[in-house]
């Protein structure tokens, strides 16, 4: 290799700014490419975690349940499951057998109860009395109702003695019991004898011996395979599902050999979530792909600009080498050898950065095996693309400059391609796809599991179209500006001339700036709108942060203690067509989920209902007195569009004081502004029995919303990266022309140009670029977010539909940052003029 | 007679060198501008011998540099014929032109720093120049020959303008070319430095290298074995044809 090529890497040190810019360009390029890969995979992991969080941990792995089996058959199922589980890597198995629910004899009393054994049950109960593990453990409710004491023996003394009284399991049950909640917690609303608390045997052998003869074929068996760590990624989840499938298939095959396969119903509840998580990951990937590609193209254009700048700086050397016989390709290789090191360093830094700050931009930090390698391959591909761009730009430039004798070429032809029309058509097609989505839940139509990738691209394509249109208009405007005489405002005239003289970089900054602000705005706007929509829908759906049903007698007597500090008691009456809420005006607004509703105004409105049967009507209920069964007549005095729990459906809200007979209310609930754990804790502390607890956080399957949110969170990240690129481009555009500007400015000030005019011209020049970018980007992003947020709502039939977000804070911040960047760059430009030594500048 | 395809690697040898290195016959050169073609050189005819100093003299805008670029196979003439060692170079491919430039022609530009690679040392520049012509290295005595001994490890910036320009000719010599084309080689130098450069130029011819220089420097014109006077793109007269 000849000396100039061999020494090229060291030559980079002679232009640190070029090295720095190449490094940063590669860093951003690599970051964007790698982050897109990591983010899409992290979305899958987040979807897995979200769905695992909605399931009982014990039902994430496979489950085997069997009803109407004999105790012997239950034992057979347990033995088979233990064998198959061990064979397929499930180190732990929790098996359980239950006798039928009956009024089992306990030396006279016949409480509704059931007997059971479950691996580890006694480790997960709170003992109130006794505690020896060699006898029966009886729940307090049964012990109190039937007068059972420690030492008693049931079924005519054939059962082991009672050795402990334990506290009844309460809703929500601990994790160990979550898969058994329906069986081990009596449901007071169920038919008598359908459910009952469990009297636990100390071991399977004693259970089998005692219950086998008396259970006939009415026993039940359940098998769980709890895992130490729930799957964190789609691959882990898929592997768990696959192992589970082999396990339950093995159990069923073993039973089938004895013609007993019908005894059990195996289930793999996590199989569908894995599929959905993969779909969500793919949706996010597909949705961010267009903007990622655009961002990469912008980055590569930046690399091309850096290369052009480098070629300009190295023009003499390139001409010398060319005059000595080097061809364009060799000169391209010369550029590559000099810029490869900073580009490689940047690409590595971008890859490492994308991994290190994954938690900042991605919904999860758990990645599927191989994703890191894939991200590294993408970063490597981006690096190679950058290298190709460097080589090609230099080679083409050398060919045009030295061989063809012209610098005109493809660049001019590309300007005539109507890019904005193409992206506009793509945006229209995406909009048509969104618009065709049903807004009502039709019978037989499946609920969406994730968002639509093509539809998600709509706002981005609109922003891209607006950015391209802005650039087109700016180019035309700058071309036409040659005919404009604005010398009445010299600062403006100078600014326009400078912009027109550097039209290429000006429109480039405008494109990136508009794209950056637009994507930031639309990203934040849509993501916030979907978050708010999920929050609002969940809040209206549940009514409060958490709720629980309480006995009527407790509700009528009123709560006491700490629980009253964050709760209100609400009566619910459902008729065929509407829901009637009975509220306590004094405490309702404190505990209910109100969203952006004015709490004081609502409190006053509820208080005004008084004791006369006045009601708020909700939704499209008729504005006329109606008679509610068991509650009497209510007279609407005001209307609200929506109300907690009723949502946007039909209903009435009446004051509790207006009820003639509160005992007629079907269900009483306690609503809290605290998480469900705190509500349950306080209810337990107050000794209030409760059931059917609900939490706003888990009320709805938010995955489709989250998919949209994750997508636009990444769009925001890309917007941020583009904003950095735009700001850097603005700085570089001034820095590259610093000498030229300094000379022109210094000469002009010596000829009488006032300092104020000089500053004004730079402010106008840079401010117009930043201002147009912010204005066009914010307008496009804001309008787009407002239009697309309701269209991107995955569940538009669940009202209210996602609405236009409040983007004022974001736009204010964007404007402030843009103004700060302009002021900084302007200061640098003016300073280079005021400190310039004209003699040195002219001498060059 | 079958047409012989020009191969600069095999056809261009010193043994084949005819008496005239270049033969220009009715050569035209035009530049394309946004307002149309502008003639820079019109109907120029003269020969450049394979030895001695040929000076293209004339005022600014007379076409000296344009002609030099045509002779250096940097620009193409638009009409007429320009022959290099008896063969028309007008239809040579880019690759073939590069091959000729690489092996047979050295160019010295007007500005001294533009003839050197700034981030290499003096010795590095000489080696780079030699390697560019397919040679392994430069003659170690070149620096003595140029009058700048012991500067091999110096950075280019440490040399004066005159030293840089002499080094530029040294680099040209290191490439062992058939001809050195120099564009206003003394225009940016003081008189003393210019005189040293002219000495180098003369000594180049003594090494058997033909020199073609574009200049309006009277000192340089005076040293020309052949002087082609140009005015407004045309040859006014050729002096020293019979010398």
Q: Best of A324, A402, A408 to disrupt the B interface by mutation (most B CBs within 10 Å)?
A: A324
pTM for the full model?
0.83
A730 with A589: CB under 8 angstroms? Answer: no
Ordered DSSP codes for A227-290 = -SS---SHHHHHHHHHHHHHHHHHHHHHHHHTT-GGGEEEE-TTHHHHHHHHHHHHHHHHHHHH
Number of other residues whose CB lies within 10 A of the CB of residue A631 = 23
Report the residue of chain B nearest A329, measured CA to CA: B95
Residues A826 and A349: their CA atoms lie apart, in Å, by: 30
Q: Do B118 and A3 touch (CB under 8 A)?
A: no
Instruction: Please check the confidence at residue A835 and state whether its pLDDT lies above 90.
Output: no
A734 or A72, higher pLDDT:
A72
Average pLDDT over residues A158-166: 92
Cis ω for the linkage preceding A325 (within 30 of 0): no
Neighboring chain A residues of B98 at a CB cutoff of 8 Å:
325-327
Instruction: Please check the confidence at residue B15 and state whether its pLDDT lies above 60.
Output: no
Q: Best of B72, B73, B98 to disrupt the A interface by mutation (most A CBs within 10 Å)?
A: B98
Average pLDDT over residues A649-663: 84
Instruction: Please check the confidence at residue A541 and state whether its pLDDT lies above 90.
Output: no
**Candidate from A3, A11, A405 with C-beta closest to B127:** A3
Neighboring chain B residues of A316 at a CB cutoff of 8 Å:
111, 113-114
Separation of CA B77 from chain center:
16
DSSP A298: H
**Candidate from A14, A316, A406 with C-beta closest to B114:** A316
Residues A657 and A585: their CA atoms lie apart, in Å, by: 9
Average pLDDT over residues A583-608: 86
Residues A372 and A375: their CA atoms lie apart, in Å, by: 5
Cis ω for the linkage preceding A72 (within 30 of 0): no
For A119-188, strand residue ranges (E) read: 127-130, 136-139, 162-166
Residues B19 and B86: their CA atoms lie apart, in Å, by: 9
Q: How many residues does chain B have?
A: 243
Neighboring chain A residues of B92 at a CB cutoff of 8 Å:
none
The token pair that represents A798 in the structure block: 């669940």
**Candidate from A7, A324, A402 with C-beta closest to B132:** A324
3 state SS of A566: coil
Q: Do B132 and A321 touch (CB under 8 A)?
A: yes
Dump pLDDT digits (tens) for A165-192.
999 888 778 889 999 988 888 876 667 7
Query: Rounded to the nearest 10 degrees, how much is the dihedral formed by the CA atoms of A835, A836, A840, A843?
Result: 170
Residues A690 and A563: their CA atoms lie apart, in Å, by: 13
Taking CA atoms, A753 is separated from A737, A757, A825, in Å, by 19, 7, 20
Report the residue of chain A nearest B119, measured CA to CA: A11
Report the residue of chain B nearest A319, measured CA to CA: B114
Dump pLDDT digits (tens) for A314-342.
888 999 999 998 889 999 999 999 999 99
Neighboring chain B residues of A406 at a CB cutoff of 8 Å:
32
Taking CA atoms, B19 is separated from B47, B50, B105, B107, B210, in Å, by 9, 6, 17, 21, 11
Q: Do B94 and A403 touch (CB under 8 A)?
A: yes
The token pair that represents B138 in the structure block: 């430069």
Closest by CA position to A149, among listed A159, A160, A135, A164:
A164
**Candidate from B102, B113, B119 with C-beta closest to A11:** B119
Counting one residue from A and one from B, how many pairs have CB atoms under 8 Å apart? 64
Average pLDDT over residues A106-134: 89
Instruction: Please check the confidence at residue A844 and state whether its pLDDT lies above 50.
Output: no
Neighboring chain A residues of B95 at a CB cutoff of 8 Å:
327
- Cβ partners under 8 Å of residue B193, min gap 6: B160, B161, B162, B163, B165, B186
A295 with A721: CB under 8 angstroms? Answer: yes
3 state SS of A80: helix
**Candidate from A11, A320, A326 with C-beta closest to B115:** A320
Would you call A193 exposed, middle or buried from its count of C-beta atoms within 10 A (0-12, 13-18, 19+)?
exposed
**Percent of chain A whose pLDDT exceeds 90:** 34
Alpha helix (H) residue ranges in A399-445: 410-415, 419-435
Q: Do A327 and B94 touch (CB under 8 A)?
A: yes
Neighboring chain B residues of A327 at a CB cutoff of 8 Å:
94-95, 98
Nearest chain A CA: its distance from B99 CA (Å)? 6
A48 with A280: CB under 8 angstroms? Answer: no
Q: Do A323 and B107 touch (CB under 8 A)?
A: yes
Report the residue of chain A nearest B102, measured CA to CA: A325
Would you call A607 exposed, middle or buried from its count of C-beta atoms within 10 A (0-12, 13-18, 19+)?
middle
Number of other residues whose CB lies within 10 A of the CB of residue B60 = 8
**pLDDT band at residue A477 under the 50/70/90 scheme:** very high
| A95, containing H or E segment | strand A94-98
- Cβ partners under 8 Å of residue A72, min gap 6: A208, A212
For helices A755-792 and A738-750, give the axis angle rounded to 10 degrees: 140
- Cβ partners under 8 Å of residue B170, min gap 6: B126, B138, B142, B143, B145, B146, B200
Q: Do B94 and A2 touch (CB under 8 A)?
A: no
Of A273-282, A435-444, A609-618, A799-808, the one with minimum mean pLDDT is: A435-444
Nearest chain A CA: its distance from B115 CA (Å)? 6
**Percent of chain B whose pLDDT exceeds 70:** 91
3 state SS of A637: strand
Residues B174 and A232: their CA atoms lie apart, in Å, by: 67
- Cβ partners under 8 Å of residue A70, min gap 6: A212, A215, A216, A217, A219
The token pair that represents A674 in the structure block: 């605290």
Taking CA atoms, A688 is separated from A198, A452, A548, in Å, by 21, 46, 11
Quick one: pLDDT at residue A838?
A: 62
Dump pLDDT digits (tens) for B177-204.
889 998 888 877 778 778 888 888 888 8
Would you call A247 exposed, middle or buried from its count of C-beta atoms within 10 A (0-12, 13-18, 19+)?
buried
Taking CA atoms, A153 is separated from A112, A137, B4, in Å, by 16, 11, 119
Closest by CA position to A193, among listed A288, A300, A269, A101:
A101
φ, ψ dihedrals at B84, nearest 5°:
-110, 115
Nearest chain A CA: its distance from B242 CA (Å)? 32
Q: Do A317 and B117 touch (CB under 8 A)?
A: yes
Neighboring chain B residues of A7 at a CB cutoff of 8 Å:
117, 119-120, 124
Residues B175 and A806: their CA atoms lie apart, in Å, by: 71
A578 with A649: CB under 8 angstroms? Answer: yes
Across the beta sheet with A567-574, the strand order is A626-628, A632-640, A614-618, A651-655, A579-583, A567-574, A667-672, A546-550, A691-695
Alpha helix (H) residue ranges in A592-657: 599-607
Separation of CA A579 from chain center:
32
DSSP A766: H
Where do we find the tokens 């998919």?
A707
Residues A163 and A180: their CA atoms lie apart, in Å, by: 23
Provide the ipTM: 0.89
Report the residue of chain B nearest A320, measured CA to CA: B115
**pLDDT band at residue A598 under the 50/70/90 scheme:** confident
Closest by CA position to A49, among listed A287, A450, A367:
A367
**Candidate from A7, A14, A320 with C-beta closest to B124:** A7
Nearest chain B CA: its distance from A524 CA (Å)? 48
Closest by CA position to B200, among listed B213, B48, B243, B17:
B213
Residues A586 and A607: their CA atoms lie apart, in Å, by: 7
- Tell me chain A's radius of gyration from C-alpha atoms: 36
**pLDDT band at residue A741 under the 50/70/90 scheme:** confident
Quick one: pLDDT at residue A805?
A: 80
Residues A695 and A679: their CA atoms lie apart, in Å, by: 10
Query: Rounded to the nearest 10 degrees, how much is the dihedral formed by the CA atoms of A688, A693, A696, A702?
Result: 170
Nearest chain A CA: its distance from B59 CA (Å)? 23
Residues A335-364, buried b or exposed e (16+ Cβ, 10 A)? bbbbbbbbbbebbbbbbbbbbeebeebbbb
Q: Best of A1, A313, A316, A325 to disrupt the B interface by mutation (most B CBs within 10 Å)?
A: A325
Q: Do B74 and A402 touch (CB under 8 A)?
A: yes
Residues A686 and A551: their CA atoms lie apart, in Å, by: 13
B67 with B57: CB under 8 angstroms? Answer: no
Instruction: Please check the confidence at residue A718 and state whether its pLDDT lies above 50.
Output: yes
Average pLDDT, chain A: 86
Separation of CA A716 from chain center:
13
Instruction: Please check the confidence at residue A206 and state whether its pLDDT lies above 70.
Output: yes
Q: If you average pLDDT over each of A158-167, A279-288, B58-67, which comes out highest?
A: A158-167
Ordered DSSP codes for chain B = -PPPPP-HHHH--GGG--SEEEEEEEEEEEEEETTEEEEEEEEEEEEEESSSEEEEE-STTSSHHHHHHHHTTSS--SEEEEEETTEE-TT--HHHHHHHHHHHEEEE-SSGGGGS-TTSBHHHHHHHHHHHTT-S---TTHHHHHT-TT-TT-BGGGS-HHHHHHHHHHHHHHT--SEEEEESTTTTS-HHHHHHHHHHHHHHHHTT-EEEEEE--HHHHHT-SEEEEEETTEEEEEE-TT-
Neighboring chain A residues of B132 at a CB cutoff of 8 Å:
2, 321, 324-326
């Amino acid at each position: 290799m000849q000396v100039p090529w061999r020494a090229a890497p060291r030559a980079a040190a002679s232009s640190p700014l070029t090295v720095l810019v190449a490094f940063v360009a590669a860093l951003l390029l690599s970051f964007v490419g790698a982050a897109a890969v990591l983010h899409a995979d992290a979305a899958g992991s987040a979807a897995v975690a979200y769905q695992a969080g909605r399931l009982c941990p014990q039902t994430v792995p496979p489950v085997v349940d069997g009803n109407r089996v004999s105790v012997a058959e239950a034992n057979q199922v347990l033995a088979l499951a233990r064998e198959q589980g061990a064979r397929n890597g499930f180190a732990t198995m929790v098996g359980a057998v239950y006798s039928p629910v009956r009024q089992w004899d306990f030396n006279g009393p016949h409480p509704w109860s059931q007997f059971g054994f479950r691996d580890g049950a006694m480790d997960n109960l709170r003992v109130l009395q006794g505690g020896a593990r060699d006898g029966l453990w009886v729940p307090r409710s049964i012990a109190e109702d039937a007068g059972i004491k420690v030492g008693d023996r049931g079924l005519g003394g054939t059962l082991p003695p009672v050795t402990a009284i334990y506290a009844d399991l309460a809703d929500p049950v601990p994790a160990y019991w979550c898969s058994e909640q329906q069986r081990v917690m009596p449901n007071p609303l169920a038919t008598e004898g359908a459910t009952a608390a469990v009297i636990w045997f100390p071991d399977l052998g004693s259970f089998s011996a005692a219950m086998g003869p008396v259970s006939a074929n009415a026993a039940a068996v359940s098998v769980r395979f709890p895992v130490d760590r729930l799957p964190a990624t789609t691959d882990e989840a898929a592997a768990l599902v696959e192992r589970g499938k082999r396990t339950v298939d093995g159990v069923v095959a073993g039973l089938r050999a004895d013609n007993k396969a019908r005894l059990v119903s195996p289930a793999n509840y996590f199989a569908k979530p894995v599929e959905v998580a993969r779909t969500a990951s793919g949706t996010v990937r597909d949705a961010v792909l267009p903007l990622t590609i655009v961002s990469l193209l912008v980055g590569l254009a930046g690399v091309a600009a850096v290369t052009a700048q480098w070629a300009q700086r190295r023009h003499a050397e390139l001409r010398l080498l060319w005059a000595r016989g080097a061809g364009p390709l060799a000169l391209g290789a010369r550029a590559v050898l000099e810029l490869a090191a900073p580009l490689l360093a940047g690409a590595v830094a971008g890859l490492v950065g994308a991994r290190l700050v994954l938690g900042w931009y991605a919904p999860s930090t758990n990645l599927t095996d191989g994703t890191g390698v894939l991200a590294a391959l993408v970063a490597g591909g981006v690096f190679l693309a950058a290298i190709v761009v460097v080589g090609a730009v230099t080679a083409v430039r050398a060919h045009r400059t030295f061989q063809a004798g012209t610098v005109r070429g493809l660049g001019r032809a590309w300007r005539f391609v109507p890019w904005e029309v193409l992206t506009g058509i793509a945006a229209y097609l995406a909009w048509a796809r969104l618009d065709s989505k049903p807004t009502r839940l039709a019978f037989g139509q499946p609920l969406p599991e994730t968002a639509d990738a093509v539809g998600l691209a709509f706002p981005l394509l609109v922003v891209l179209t607006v950015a391209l249109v802005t650039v087109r208009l700016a180019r035309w405007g700058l071309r036409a500006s040659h005919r404009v005489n604005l010398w009445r405002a010299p600062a403006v005239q100078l600014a326009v001339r400078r912009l027109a003289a550097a039209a290429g970089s000006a429109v480039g900054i405008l494109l990136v700036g508009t794209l950056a602000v637009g994507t930031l705005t639309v990203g934040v706007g849509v993501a916030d709108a979907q978050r708010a929509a999920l929050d609002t829908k969940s809040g209206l759906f549940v009514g409060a942060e958490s709720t629980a049903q309480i006995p009527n007698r407790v509700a009528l007597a009123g709560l006491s203690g700490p629980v009253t500090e964050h709760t209100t008691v609400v009566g619910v009456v459902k008729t065929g067509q509407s829901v009637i809420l009975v509220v306590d005006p004094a405490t309702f607004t404190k505990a209910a989920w109100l969203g952006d509703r004015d709490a004081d105004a609502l409190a006053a409105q509820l208080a005004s209902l008084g004791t006369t049967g006045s009601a708020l009507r909700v939704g499209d209920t008729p504005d006329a007195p109606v008679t509610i069964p068991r509650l009497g007549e209510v007279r609407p005095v005001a209307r609200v569009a929506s109300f907690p729990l009723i949502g946007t459906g039909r209903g009435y809200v009446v004051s509790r004081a207006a009820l003639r007979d509160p005992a007629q209310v079907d269900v009483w609930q306690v609503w809290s502004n605290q998480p469900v754990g705190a509500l349950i804790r306080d209810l337990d502390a107050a000794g209030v029995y409760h059931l059917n607890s609900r939490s706003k956080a888990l009320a709805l399957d938010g995955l489709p919303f989250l998919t949209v949110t994750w997508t636009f969170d990444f769009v925001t990240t890309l917007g941020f990266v583009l904003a950095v690129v735009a700001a850097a481009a603005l700085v570089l555009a001034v820095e590259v022309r610093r000498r030229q500007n300094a000379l022109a400015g210094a000469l002009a000030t010596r000829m009488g140009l006032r300092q104020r005019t000089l500053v004004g011209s730079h402010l106008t020049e840079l401010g117009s670029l930043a201002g147009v970018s912010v204005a066009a980007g914010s307008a496009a992003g804001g309008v787009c977010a407002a239009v697309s947020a309701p269209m991107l709502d995955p569940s538009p039939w669940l009202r209210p539909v996602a609405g236009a977000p409040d983007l004022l804070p974001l736009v204010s911040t964007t404007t402030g940052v843009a103004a700060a960047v302009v002021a900084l760059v302007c200061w640098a430009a003016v300073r280079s003029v005021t400190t310039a030594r004209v003699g040195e500048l002219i001498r060059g | 007679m079958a047409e012989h395809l020009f191969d600069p690697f095999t056809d261009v040898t010193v043994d084949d060198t005819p008496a005239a290195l270049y033969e220009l016959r009715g050569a035209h050169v035009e530049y394309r501008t946004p307002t149309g073609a502008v003639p820079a050189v019109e109907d120029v005819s003269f020969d450049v011998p394979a030895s001695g100093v040929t000076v293209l003299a004339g005022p600014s805008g007379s076409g000296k540099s344009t002609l030099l670029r045509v002779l250096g196979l940097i620009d193409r003439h638009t009409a007429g014929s320009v022959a290099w060692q008896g063969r028309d170079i007008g239809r040579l491919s880019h690759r073939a032109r590069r091959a000729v430039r690489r092996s047979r022609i050295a160019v010295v530009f007007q500005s001294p720093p533009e003839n050197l690679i700034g981030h290499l040392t003096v010795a590095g520049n000489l080696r780079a120049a030699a390697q560019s012509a397919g040679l392994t290295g430069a003659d170690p005595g070149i620096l003595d020959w140029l009058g700048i001994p012991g500067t091999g490890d110096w950075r280019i910036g440490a040399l004066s303008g005159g030293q840089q320009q002499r080094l530029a000719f040294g680099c040209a010599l290191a490439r062992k070319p058939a001809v050195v084309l120099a564009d206003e080689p003394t225009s940016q130098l003081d008189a003393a430095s210019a005189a040293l450069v002219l000495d180098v130029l003369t000594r180049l011819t003594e090494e058997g290298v033909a020199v073609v220089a574009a200049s309006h420097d009277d000192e340089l014109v005076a040293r020309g074995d052949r002087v082609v006077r140009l005015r407004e793109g045309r040859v006014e007269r050729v002096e020293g044809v019979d010398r």
